[in-house]
Amino acid sequence: MKVFAFVLVIVTGIMLVVTAADFPAWGDAHSPPNQYLSTHYITQAEHETAVPNMVTAVLADYRGFDTMFETAVVFCAGLAIAAILGHEKKKRYVVRRKALPKTEEGDIIIRMATRFLVPVTQLFAMYVIAHGHHSPGGGFQGGVILAATFILMTLAFDLKTILGRFSEKMTLIWANVGLFIYAGIGVLCVLLGSRFLEYSALHKILPGTDEIMARSHSMLGVEIGVALTVMSMLFAIYAHLVSKGRLEDGL
Partner 1 sequence: MSDVLTFIISRFNYWIYIVLMMIGLYAMIAKRNYVKKFIGMSIFQTAIILFYVSTGVKSGATIPILEHGHDIGHAAAAINPDHYANPLPHVLMLTAIVVGVATLGVALAVVQKVHDQYETIEEPEILFKLGQE
Partner 2 sequence: MSENLPFLVIAAPLFGALVASLVGWARPRYCYAIAMVSLAAGLTAAIALLVKVSGTVSGYEYRLGGWPPPIGIQHWVDPLSALILVVITAVAFLAVMSARANLQLELPGKERFVYPLMLLMVTGLSGMTLTGDAFNLYVLLEITSLSSYALVAIGRGRAAASCLNYIIMGTIGASFYLLGVGYLYLKTGSLNMIDLRQIMIAGDMHGSQTVITGFILITVGFWIKMGLYPLHGWLPNAYSFAPHAASNLMAPLMTKVSVYVSLRMMLSVFTPDFLAVHALWAQTALLVATIAIIAGSLIAYSQTDVKKLLCYLVVAEVGYMAGGMWLMNRAGITGTIYHIAADAFMTCCLFLGASGLIASTGSRHIRSFRGATRRMPWTFAAFLVGGLSMIGVPPTCGFFSKWFLIQGAIEGGAWHFVAALIFSSLINALIFFRIIELAYFKDVEHEDDVSHPPQVQRNEAPWGIRIPLFITSVVIVLLGVFSPRVINWIERFVDSVGVT
Name the residues that contact partner 1, by CB under 8 A. 1-2, 4-6, 8-9, 12-13, 16-17, 20-21, 23-29, 31, 33-35, 37-39, 41-47, 50-55, 57-59, 63, 66-67, 70, 73-74, 76-77, 80-81, 84-85, 134-136, 140, 230, 234, 237, 240-241, 244-245
CB 184 within 8 A of CB 196: no
Q: Which does 45 bind (CB under 5 to 8 A by kind): partner 1, partner 2, none?
A: partner 1
158 interacts with partner 2 by CB under 8 A? no
CA distances from 95 to 92, 118, 163, 248 (A): 8, 21, 9, 11
CB 94 within 8 A of CB 250: no
The per-residue b/e assignment along 64-73, b for 16 or more CB within 10 angstroms, e otherwise, is: beebbebbee
Which residue in 173, 205, 241, 251 binds partner 2 (CB under 8 A)?
173
Q: Smallest gap, in angstroms, from Cβ of residue 98 to partner 1?
A: 31
Please identify, among the stretches 57-65, 127-135, 138-146, 236-244, the one whose residues bind partner 2 according to the rule CB under 8 A.
Answer: 57-65
Q: Which does 89 bind (CB under 5 to 8 A by kind): partner 2, partner 1, none?
A: partner 2
- Footprint on residues 201-220 left by partner 2 (CB under 8 A): none
Q: Which does 46 bind (CB under 5 to 8 A by kind): partner 2, partner 1, none?
A: partner 1
Which residues touch 42 (CB under 8 Å, ≥6 apart)? 54
Helix (H, G, I), strand (E, B) or coil at 163: helix
Helix (H, G, I), strand (E, B) or coil at 157: coil
- Which strand (E) or helix (H) includes residue 11? helix 2-20
For the range 23-31, what are the long-range contacts, defined as Cβ-Cβ under 8 Å and sequence gap of 24 or more? none
Identify the sign of the CA torsion 186, 192, 198, 204: negative
- Report CA 87 to chain centroid distance, whole Å: 26
Q: Smallest gap, in angstroms, from Cβ of residue 112 to partner 1?
A: 31
83 interacts with partner 2 by CB under 8 A? yes
Binding footprint of partner 2 on the chain (CB under 8 A): 15-16, 18-19, 21-24, 31-38, 40-41, 61-66, 69-70, 72-73, 75-77, 79-84, 86, 88-89, 169, 172-173, 176, 179-180, 183, 186-187, 190, 194-200
